[in-house]
Amino acid sequence: MALQLDEGVTDQPAGETAEQYRHESGDASLGWGERGERNLWVGHCHIVRGTDLVGSAVVRVTVVVPTYNEAGNIERLCREVRLAVPEADILIVDDASPDGTGQLAEDIGRELGHVRVLHRAGKAGLGAAYREGLRNAIENGAEICVQMDADLSHDPQVLPALIANAENGADLAIGSRYVPGGITENWPRRRRALSRWGNRYAAGVLGLAVNDATAGYRAYRSDALERMEFDSVAAEGYGFQVEMTYRLVRIGGKVVEFPITFRDRTAGTSKMSGGIVREALVIVIKLWVDDFGGRRRRRARGG
């Protein structure tokens, strides 16, 4: 199923139902008014925004997309992102793809406009690509930075809802597979179970009230990225997303999750590996150990 713009948007703790969360802390949802206004609920606050604001010049948005050998997807991705958020910038961060992804992105960018390609010297990992891409986006004036995969597993039609949450109160908006209404399609049972378990493990060990800490479809406010010092995040792969989520929570940032349909890629090759999974498990323990020392120091100061 495709996400409609009037789906409920939730940031309830893991294990809490959407109904319980709405009752306890208010709903956060996005829909359309009778005259075409954008209606957004954040907590108990109802905000009406004009239809021309999402991804417009009012709030500068950059969609950051790391790529490596995505020649089969890059043109369609750029066209669909442009249709979904016409005024947003698209930043392709290409790790010298042998299949020519970077050059294809340059070609489509000349046609569509507002598409830039950051050519890197070689394949250096997802986290490194995002760190460089996010820094480049902020330096070029982005107030909201979106992360999404190039393999079309993230539906570009969701971008207006993702961005609207960041415009209207969320420091981090996550397109989540694991809140009520979220769906994962075409994954084998083993990979689905690994993803679910990994998220519960990260949330339980680190005390994160986040259902999908490994999600790659997300929007950050740039000021929150600076406050969490994202440049110093060392992890790659799923570990990068977990550490970014953890840092955002540790600085007291507001996280909003809302349901998406995640579809496995149909073109190209998955970058998933056993090493990426192991790194994510290790980074959770490292963050817990580091925070244990921080908790002791805070107690010693009486904090």
**The pLDDT of residue 9:** 39
Tens place of pLDDT per residue across the chain (303 aa): 333 333 333 343 433 433 343 344 444 444 434 333 334 433 323 333 333 444 444 799 999 999 999 999 999 999 999 999 999 999 999 999 999 999 999 999 999 999 999 999 999 889 999 999 999 999 999 999 999 999 999 999 999 999 999 999 999 999 999 999 988 887 777 777 777 777 788 888 888 889 999 999 999 999 999 999 999 998 887 789 999 999 999 999 999 999 999 887 565 454 444 565 666 677 777 787 777 655 445 455 554
Domain extents in the chain: 54-292
Contact 92, 67 (CB under 8 A): yes
Q: How many other C-beta atoms can be found within 10 angstroms of the C-beta atom of residue 184?
A: 17
Closest CA to 45 of 20, 26, 17, 62: 26
Look at residue 50 in the predicted model and tell me its pLDDT.
38
What is the pLDDT, as a whole number, of residue 277? 60
Query: Distance from first CA to last CA of the chain, Å, rounded?
Result: 47
pLDDT at 300: 52
The CATH class given to the 54-292 domain equals: alpha beta
pLDDT score recorded for residue 265:
53
User: What is residue 292's predicted lDDT score, i.e. its pLDDT?
Assistant: 62
Instruction: In whole angstroms, give the CA distance from residue 159 to residue 254.
Output: 19
Helix (H) or strand (E) holding 262: strand 261-263
Tokens representing 246 are 């953890």
Q: Which two tokens stand for residue 233?
A: 């995040």
pLDDT at residue number 266: 60
Which pLDDT score is estimated for 22? 39
The residue whose two tokens read 């959770």 is 284
